[in-house]
Every structure is written in structure tokens, then in C-alpha cells.
Amino acid sequence: MKALVFNTFGGPEVLEYVEIADPVIGPDEILVRMKAIGLNFADIYRRKGNYHLTGNAPFILGYEGAGVVEKTGANVQGISVGDPVAFADVQYANAEQVAAPMEKIIPLPENVSFEEAASVLLQGLTAHYLAKDSYAVNENDIILVHAAAGGVGQLLVQIAKVLGGRVIGLTSSTEKASVAKKAGANQVFLYSDDWKRKILEETNGKGVDVVYDSVGSTLEDSFAVTRIGGTVVFYGMAGGDPVPVDPRMLMDTSKTLTGGDLWNVLTSREERAVRSAELFRWIEEGKVTVSEPTVFALRDGREAHRFLESRKSTGKILLRP
């Protein structure tokens, strides 16, 4: 089969589209022929070597995707060859075929396409736990979402609104601001604005209840616009590493810093089923919409990585085998 691999850490140029051996499934695994593969910033971090990555070279990136069941292991029940399925946390997804543990497979409803599933599962489940677990959004909470036009950002804006929050978005351009407003943000400010002052003015000097920070380098500024007793949720480093946080500041302001990682949440088949079912239900009810993805052929993975790193994208990027 063909796969997108790399042997050394570095920029997009280290990626190669090559022929490798087909995966061999175990008795509790399912062989999935991939139809759509999600590209995420975690793939960028792993390619650079600054995010956890298992196995040995040649490495295969990718944790998210959707496709058709090609073969099932001897112990697999309830899933048949030909079924449409998806997953959010199965390794080596940047390939034509993937061996997936049965417990991590999510059957697709009839009205959810491969592209929608690969666009929404990882980012949607991330937004789901951020808004319900890392900080439980309540009615009338004021929420600040960094990178509000990005894949997770748009979904987080929508889910926070479903849960009754009032959302302020931050983006890097007027074009992205329009995307964030379309997703449902009540207000959007640009990073080039004096956004800290504007947010404090908007909240009568108190600050927001929670900031969802996926940029990293903005962490100090996020605390500056958080109310006394508020929370900053740190879950990404798209703009660079954050500065160290002084715990004395947390004590003096009664503020909370928490992090989030999807792998610590999707710990059982039941968790995947319950969370994905709620996400799919919101999509079916029209409360959460998935923006049209940008699609690259898997063989053009270098270009897809460059596009994601350029921060010009306003939604999901998919790879198609």
C-alpha cells in the first residue's frame, strides 16, 4: 500500500509518499480502507519532533479518518466488511489501509459522510471535552476562543453556544473574522487590534470566564483578560511555546490553568460512543455545522502540511488516498 512517511524530524520536505507493507490485523482489530484522513496540528508537532510519537522510523503520521471495513479480526463482533466507520485516535492513518482496534472504531450514521466524519471527529471531540470537561461551559458564561476560525475554533464556538455561552473570538484577519462570526461568535477581534483592552472594555473591566488558548505564545495575554477566579484552558501551541506561568500569580488571582489532551478522555469504547453520538446529534439537529474542508491528495502531503502551517486555512484539511 501507499503511505505518507518520514524518517527524520523536520519541515514538510521530510515527508515521502512511498510503498510500504500492508498492515496485518490481529483478532481484535479491523482493517479499514481509508477514504478521508484528517490533518491536525498534532501531526505538525510530531513531524517536527516536539510531540509524543511512538514507534520507529519510518514514521507514519495521522490519528483520524474514515473509510470502509475491508477485513475483521476473529474476535470482532457487530461490525461487518463494507461498513462505513471512522476513528479519532488510531495511529498510522496517513496510509491507504489502517489496522484499527475494534474499541476505537466509531460506526458512521447514514447521513454522515466520510469527509464529514474525518473533518469533525478529532476536532469535534476535542471541542466537546474542552467545553464540557476542561471547563464546563454554563449559561451566560463569557468565553474567549483563540484561533476562532480554525477547525477546533469553529466547533468550539458552536458547542459553547449550544451550551449557552457568549463567545468572543480572536482571529488573524478580517476574512477569518467573518468565518468566526458565521460559526456563531457574538464578537470577533483581530490579533492586530488592541484586543486585550477591547475585551476588558467589553466585560466592564472584569475579564472573561474562560479562555481557550491553542496558540501557546498568547498564554500570558490570556490570563490578562481572564476574570478573578476564571480559567485558562491551554490545549495547543500553534503560535509557539508559552512562557512559564508563575504559580504565585495563580494564587494571588485565584485563576486556574488547566490543560487538555483528547487521549486522556477517549479511554473506552463507551466514551467514544457517547461523545460521538452527542456530536453527531448536534450535527443532525443543525446546531453544529461542519465547514467545507480543503482536500489534498495523500501524495501531496507536503503541500497540505505547508498550508496548515501557513495558518491561512479556515477549516479542516483532509488527505485523500
Domain segments of the chain: what residues?
Answer: 2-121+268-320, 139-259
Q: What is the mean pLDDT of residues 291-302?
A: 94
pLDDT digits (tens, 9 = 90+) for 186-199: 999 999 999 999 99
Question: Domain 2-121+268-320 carries which CATH code?
Answer: 3.90.180.10
* Residues 278, 285: Cα–Cα separation, whole Å: 10
Q: What are 47-50's contacts with CB under 8 Å, separation 24+? A: 47/6, 47/9, 47/10, 47/11, 47/12, 47/14, 47/15, 47/305, 48/9, 48/10, 48/11, 49/9, 49/10
- Of 30-39, 116-125, 130-139, 201-210, least confident by mean pLDDT is 116-125
Q: What is the mean pLDDT of residues 106-124?
A: 92
pLDDT for residue 160 = 98
* Residues 139, 290: Cα–Cα separation, whole Å: 24
- The yes-or-no verdict on residue 314 having pLDDT over 80 is no
pLDDT for residue 18 = 97
pLDDT for residue 295 = 96
Owner of C-alpha cell 467545553:
131
Q: How confident is the model at residue 229 (pLDDT cuts 50, 70, 90)?
A: very high
* CATH superfamily of domain region 139-259: NAD(P)-binding Rossmann-like Domain (3.40.50.720)
pLDDT for residue 33 = 98
On whether the CB atoms of residues 158 and 287 are closer than 8 A, the answer is yes
Q: Which residues pair with 162 in a beta bridge?
A: none
